Amino acid sequence: MWFFVIGDLFIFGVYFVSYLWFRSADHALFLDSQRHLNQDIGVVNTVILLTSSLFVALGTAAARGGNARHALRLFGFALACGAAFPVLKAFEWIPEIAAGYRPGTNLFFMYYYVLAGMHLCHVLLGLMILGFVMRELRQSRAPRIRFVETGATYWHMVDLLWLVLFALLYLMR
Amino acid sequence: MAFLFRNPLVAVWALLTASTILSWALSRDGGVTPHADIAVTAGVLLIAAVKSQLVIRYFMEVRHAPAWLRRVMNGWLALLFALLAGIYITSL
């Protein structure tokens, strides 16, 4: 998993740098477009992912300590928090698309939808992985701790990528 | 509640959440008129870099990882934020 995570981080890194490259060529366009984003949903989604990551970290520690039932409950909280992310994304995107801010609107919105969309695919895959971890914790008498740790690492990467995306798309001026 | 914060993971989460809200407040204050604002951007990028490092060290547990993994992750973070800051600064 670590090789996959590192590969993904470098691929996203290239996208982040290219975003800043084009942004730097036209500050006015990007700044003006940024004003139409819903920063409030952005910050709530950030806190949701951070909280979800905390539950995953606590759940991993519980699984390592041999307390599979407690770990299962913590991963359940993580999954519930994580599942709120795509729902809020829909509440964010639908009014924006309805208001005419679409991927084809300009370069900022192209990056905004493509980067956040790729990240959203990672969130959905991460939610499935959390589901597999929960199945392992529920069904197995001796859950494979490596399996739990691998799933946790992926979920933290999803959180990490969002922290950078949030700063670049929503916050920087 | 106090016992919760004795857990380092919960303390890290509290720091991450507080710094998220700080960077949000920073950006809102500076974001009324659409002009490039180096002070806001520097603060936002610095906070994002610190948050990323906290997630890598404590949530991904890279502080207990083999040296090669620590180097790769720290290298990725340093290279990414150096490039982001460099591109931004030279474009002003």
pLDDT tens for the 173 residues of chain A, in order:
899 999 999 999 999 999 999 999 999 999 999 999 999 999 999 999 999 999 999 999 999 999 999 999 999 999 999 999 999 999 999 999 999 999 999 999 999 999 999 999 999 999 999 999 999 999 988 889 999 999 999 999 999 999 999 999 999 99
* A60 burial type by CB count under 10 A (0-12 exposed, 13-18 middle, 19+ buried): buried
Say whether residue B36 is in contact with chain A using an 8 A CB cutoff. Answer: yes
* A171 burial type by CB count under 10 A (0-12 exposed, 13-18 middle, 19+ buried): buried
Say whether residue B9 is in contact with chain A using an 8 A CB cutoff. Answer: yes
Best to test chain B binding among A54, A149, A157 (most B CBs inside 10 Å): A54
A62: tokens are 């519980």
Note whether ipTM > 0.90 here: yes
Say whether residue A153 is in contact with chain B using an 8 A CB cutoff. Answer: yes
Lowest mean pLDDT among A35-49, B11-25, B26-40: B26-40
